[in-house]
Amino acid sequence: MVKNIAVIRGDGIGPEIISEALKVLDKVAALYGHTFNYTDVDMGGCAIDKYGDPLPEHELNKCLSSDSVLLGAVGGDKWNDVPGNMRPEKGLLRLRAGMGVYSNNRPAKIWRQLSDASPLKKSIVDEGIDFIIVRELIGGIYFGEHKTEGDTAVDVLRYSESEIERIGRIGFETARKRGKKLCSVEKSNVLDSSRLWKKVMHRLSAEYPDVELSDMLVDNCAMQIVKNPAQFDVIVTENMFGDILSDEASMITGSIGMIPSSSLGATSCGLYEPIHGSAPDIAGKDIANPVGAILSAAMMLRFSFDMENEATAIENAVSKYLDSGLRTADIMSEGMTLVGCSKCGDLICDNLRKE
């Protein structure tokens, strides 16, 4: 198959981790006889430096005409003082909205090789950590009106029933393919938008009788994720709650550097990115963990290109790499051997076998 991939290297460690993901994709292409064409897209701080805009129209259009988009990370202290609507992160938000990718899937799964990298007690980790956060990605407070007037600032949190319904369906369908348990997370004891969220989830639940729906307030959920993560199968939640809970969920699996994500909308053209940020403090030192980016590429193969075997081949190669006791600094532990970002990518490529 021939696939055209828009590649956004971005800022900080973005370019280093994406180079490793492309190495792995090239190896997959060679093994399976595919052709992956890459088109570089400037977004984030580097686009501000080049064009004075975090995502100019012509760069967004490259993404819209691709088969899918692979993204490293954007942002950094260098652009902290630019106005809010011109920040590097604004480029990312415009991309998500422009692509219409309302459904963000963030797995929190502990690799058995990394159980000692989790900050949680062994007895909790041993119960198992394997759940998915389905995060609404193009609505809510991120996309409401933002304004500052004098000493007062306002951000508007708005959801319509149809926006809740389409992400709710993804939650139910994701749960249906897994453990059939869906936890809807909101703040319905305070927010109107959350009361609407809860109402729509319960209405939808009638169409998915095989899925057990539960409700949880977001503050309680933050606590339950560290207290008893094994209770979760699929969590569905709004944009900002999902942002916060997914950082927490990633950390209990050992490192945010290991976690990929997919974002999809109405078409098969998806956006794939590790959930970590641009980590400017470690950029250019060849010490970042490229596994989140590599696994994001695997998700792209599975969800957008229907290449299940190829995706599994990448995941197995990552598992073999962990088996061999090699670790980047973020997941380093006693008795293991330290490797850099580029070496990690090479080793995963060496372990790739046709499934």
Residue 306 known to be catalytic: no
Name which of Mg ion, ligand IPM, none residue 287 binds, using a CB cut-off of 5 to 8 Å depending on partner kind: none
Pick the closer one to ligand IPM by CB: 174 or 263.
Answer: 263
- Count of beta carbons in the 10 Å neighbourhood of residue 216: 18
> Do the Cβ atoms of 177 and 135 come closer than 8 Å?
no
Token duo for residue 200: 């729509």
Rounded CA-CA distance 177/341 in Å is 34
The set of residues, in sequence order, having a beta carbon less than 8 Å from that of 51 and lying 6+ positions away, is 42, 59
**Rg (the chain; Cα; Å):** 20
Pick the closer one to ligand IPM by CB: 118 or 246.
Answer: 246
Catalytic-labelled residue, pool 243, 272, 321, 330 = 243
Give the residue carrying structure tokens 């973005």: 14
Pick the closer one to ligand IPM by CB: 213 or 275.
Answer: 275
Token duo for residue 272: 């794939």
- Nearest in space to 319 (alpha carbons), one of 113, 29, 31, 20: 113
Pick the closer one to ligand IPM by CB: 3 or 90.
Answer: 90
- Nearest in space to 344 (alpha carbons), one of 284, 296, 292, 300: 292
What's the min distance (Å) between Cβ of 134 and ligand IPM?
14
What residue number has its CB nearest to Mg ion? 243
User: What x-and-dash track marks residues 327-346 binding Mg ion by CB under 5 A?
Assistant: --------------------
Residue 187 known to be catalytic: yes
List binders of Mg ion among 232-271 (CB under 5 A). Answer: 243
Q: How many residues does the chain have?
A: 355
Catalytic-labelled residue, pool 42, 62, 142, 208 = 142
Residue 192 known to be catalytic: no
CA atoms within 13 A on the CB side of 240: 14
Catalytic-labelled residue, pool 187, 208, 233, 321 = 187
What residue number has its CB nearest to ligand IPM? 89
Q: Say whether residue 243 binds ligand IPM (CB under 6 A).
A: yes
Rounded CA-CA distance 175/183 in Å is 9
3-state secondary structure of 77: helix
Name which of Mg ion, ligand IPM, none residue 89 binds, using a CB cut-off of 5 to 8 Å depending on partner kind: ligand IPM
Pick the closer one to Mg ion by CB: 64 or 240.
Answer: 240
List binders of Mg ion among 87-126 (CB under 5 A). Answer: none
Residue 247 known to be catalytic: yes
What's the min distance (Å) between Cβ of 74 and Mg ion?
12
What's the min distance (Å) between Cβ of 346 and Mg ion?
29
Instruction: Tally helices (H) and strands (E) across the chain.
Output: 12, 14
Catalytically active residues, by annotation:
142, 187, 219, 243, 247
Point out which residues bind ligand IPM (CB under 6 A).
75, 89, 92, 243, 275
